[in-house]
Amino acid sequence: MRYEGYLPISKEDMIERGIEQFDFVYVIGDAYVDHPSFGPAIISRILESRGFSVGIISQPDWKDDASISIMGEPRLGFLVSGGNMDSMVNHYSVSKKRREMDSFTPGGVMGKRPDYATVVYCNLIRRTYKKTPIIIGGIEASLRRLAHYDYWSNKLKRSILLDSGADLISYGMGERSIVEIAEALESGIDVKDITFIDGTVYKTKDKDSIYDAIWLPQWDEIKENKRTFAESFYTQYCNTDPFSGKRLVEGYGTNFVVQNPPQKPLSQEEMDAVYALPYMRNYHPSYEEEGGVPAIREIKFSLVSNRGCFGGCSFCALTFHQGRIIQTRSHESIIEEAKIITQDPEFKGYIHDVGGPTANFRAPACQKQLTKGACPNKQCLFPTPCKNLEVDHKDYIELLRKLRELPKVKKVFIRSGIRFDYLMADKDKTFLRELCEHHVSGQLKVAPEHISNAVLKRLGKPAVEVYNKFVQAYKDMNKKIGKEQYLVPYLMSSHPGSTLKEAIELAEYLRDLGYMPEQVQDFYPTPSTISTCMYYTGLDPRTMEEVYVSTNPHEKAMQRALIQYRNPKNYDLVYEALTKAGRQDLIGFDKNCLIKPRKFGGEKAQSWSKTGSGKSGTGKLSGTKAASGKGNSTDKKGKKKTIRNVHNKKKK
């Protein structure tokens, strides 16, 4: 069957289109989704726009060598991506248990890609094509480009360039570098001589050919000494900016892995051009019989407004991948895509999101970043906003107003992260008002992550006082406009720096709000983040201070249970945690206690379970009030009082 508009995915497609040999064959760990939220779609469409032919091999059977040769040998090289997520994050929860669903696979079926997919696919290619150039990219390759801690094997791993046998890494977003690589190969340059392109990593044995570089500690040194690894990591972190970043070299005996400086940010015109390419905006029709690709549901009616983030959260890898300089699309580009979305037969009038890594960032943090880049060892927002930070929501407000006015659009939501400290730094409250009036669907999700300043310091997040001021401002604004809307805070347990003391501090904060989160995220050590470096080394690479790290699964379970201390299933863990921390004062009948004494624990659990929402008394926070799913709380006199149901309010 001929699928008009999509890139070829089979030999039959090649024959129908009269293609004898592809310039590039793109091997990907995800299903083929031709949408600009998927990296392989952007890279393949950019190459196509420059006259290069690209064939797609999606989720090949890595146990069958023939699966990689269904389209023959490409003329210029293989491109390989593990997918939109690191394959290990895709496969395993933080407890290292196998996930039940893969949203990037047809039908959500697990097991269609291998662990460490990029390495496995490259090794598969090399068994058949010994000399064909291999260029790897995507989040997995990008964040494993130099030596890194691998949580799933609990050890350091070498640069993925060595273990995969690939020739080049195109790291970061890759639009500039992939075109330069393609043009270099087309001109006849041997892949081993492509050492000059920003945004790439190459390997060499010729030490004398490396110039103007910072030499990182050797592999043998960082493997044996965690402090040396932390120092090396921080050097990398300070060289992620495309304007100030230096070339980095990591030695492995007689082999050297060389990271060129990052590619320059795209201009607005270039960003617009990327999103104007002829995407089909859906998964390949051949997946229809299998139920389609679940991941499309999250992004089909969403709009990318920006990329990059100067927020600098320690647990986020965006600094290493997209960088800290904000790049934006024009209003015209976004409006044009919105009009296309409204023509989709499945569009119901709701644009699900207008944002990016941080929705309310629509410009670089300051003018200096446009010529000199982001400060290598200072943050724009942490610990307090920089005096040079330009806080302005006017452009974002104008964009949202234009989208709201489009025919067929009933509502425009904002589901990307809102950086509340940036919002609070804006003296003009127009954005807060319009956010509450037009862009919240009953509840707004925000990410304070924790409330202990000792932990927030390690997270790179603002002090809890800033969050409390935002909570009050949000509550006041909703009251002013006559709406009853709620905040849902994302919270993280067991982040480096969090002991049982800080976990209990968070539990007490939630107690005072009468709120228990439905979901809690354990800290997940993924490659190339400051937090992961802390987790592995026990050192904050920014200061080299020692940091407490919870690595014991049982202690991590206690920290997580404390955040959901009202859940009867967590009673024993909470009791143990409070006892171990010497906080028996929180076990009792006083209103400040978290749980009752053990012999009353079963009674309490039974009572809560019967009167709760079916989700262990989960609630939504509105300012300093809870709104639980028809749950009950107890007042000072021991009488039960009904707490309003946010979900029912939404239905009304």
- Rounded to an integer, the average pLDDT of 553-568 is 96
**Does residue 140 register a pLDDT over 60?**
yes
Using one digit for the tens of pLDDT, what is the confidence trace for 57-97? 999 999 999 999 999 999 999 999 999 999 999 999 999 99
Using one digit for the tens of pLDDT, what is the confidence trace for 576-598? 999 999 999 999 999 999 999 98
Does residue 401 contact residue 367 with C-beta atoms inside 8 Å? no
- Rounded to an integer, the average pLDDT of 445-461 is 96
- Rounded to an integer, the average pLDDT of 398-405 is 98
**Does residue 389 register a pLDDT over 90?**
yes
β-pairing, 539-540 vs 545-546, is: antiparallel
**Does residue 291 register a pLDDT over 50?**
yes
Q: What is the pLDDT of residue 603?
A: 44
Q: Which two tokens stand for residue 524?
A: 């997940």
**Beta carbons within 8 Å of 434's beta carbon, 6+ residues apart:** 397, 400, 401
Give the model's confidence band at 606: pLDDT under 50 very low, under 70 low, under 90 confident, else very high: very low
**Does residue 349 register a pLDDT over 50?**
yes
Q: What is the pLDDT of residue 598?
A: 81
Q: What is the pLDDT of residue 613?
A: 33
**Does residue 639 register a pLDDT over 70?**
no
- Give CA–CA dist 237/628, Å, rounded: 42
> Hey, which CATH number is domain 11-259, 3.40.50.280, 3.40.50.2300, 3.20.20.450, 3.20.20.70?
3.40.50.280
Q: Which two tokens stand for residue 70?
A: 């269904």
Sheet containing strand 24-28, strands side by side:
54-58, 24-28, 77-81, 134-137, 168-170, 200-204, 255-259, 247-252, 213-215
Using one digit for the tens of pLDDT, what is the confidence trace for 490-538? 999 999 999 999 999 999 999 998 888 888 899 999 999 999 999 999 9
∠ at Cα 187 (181, 193), nearest 5°?
60
Query: What share of the chain in percent tops pLDDT 70?
Result: 91
Using one digit for the tens of pLDDT, what is the confidence trace for 251-287? 999 999 999 999 999 999 999 999 999 999 999 999 9
- Give CA–CA dist 404/438, Å, rounded: 9
Q: How far is CA 379 from CA 240, 374, 375, 608, 620, in A?
A: 13, 9, 7, 44, 32
Residues forming a β-bridge with 157: 148
For the chain, the farthest-separated pair of C-alpha atoms sits apart, in whole angstroms, at 83
Using one digit for the tens of pLDDT, what is the confidence trace for 148-161? 999 999 999 999 99
Give the model's confidence band at 642: pLDDT under 50 very low, under 70 low, under 90 confident, else very high: very low
β-pairing, 539-540 vs 632-634, is: unpaired
**Does residue 644 register a pLDDT over 60?**
no
Q: What is the pLDDT of residue 2?
A: 56
- Rounded to an integer, the average pLDDT of 614-629 is 36
- Rounded to an integer, the average pLDDT of 340-362 is 96
Helix (H, G, I), strand (E, B) or coil at 557: helix
Does residue 176 contact residue 263 with C-beta atoms inside 8 Å? yes
Residues of the chain with CATH 3.40.50.280: 11-259
Q: What is the pLDDT of residue 528?
A: 96
Q: What is the pLDDT of residue 624?
A: 37
pTM of the model: 0.90
Q: How far is CA 378 from CA 44, 195, 370, in A?
A: 36, 30, 16
**Does residue 351 register a pLDDT over 90?**
yes
- Rounded to an integer, the average pLDDT of 564-571 is 95
- Domain 301-441 class, CATH top level: alpha beta
Using one digit for the tens of pLDDT, what is the confidence trace for 220-256? 999 999 999 999 999 999 999 999 999 999 999 999 9
**Average pLDDT of the chain, as a whole number:** 91
Closest C-alpha among 326, 403, 400, 431 to residue 370: 326
**Does residue 201 register a pLDDT over 60?**
yes
Q: What is the pLDDT of residue 474?
A: 97
**Beta carbons within 8 Å of 368's beta carbon, 6+ residues apart:** 388
Residues of the chain with CATH 3.30.750.210: 301-441
Q: What is the pLDDT of residue 515?
A: 85
Does residue 185 contact residue 132 with C-beta atoms inside 8 Å? no
CA atoms within 13 A on the CB side of 20: 0
β-pairing, 282-283 vs 33-34, is: antiparallel
Using one digit for the tens of pLDDT, what is the confidence trace for 94-124? 999 999 999 999 999 999 999 999 999 999 9
Give the model's confidence band at 631: pLDDT under 50 very low, under 70 low, under 90 confident, else very high: very low
Weakest mean pLDDT among 62-71, 169-178, 604-613: 604-613
Amino acid at 527: P
**Does residue 648 register a pLDDT over 70?**
no
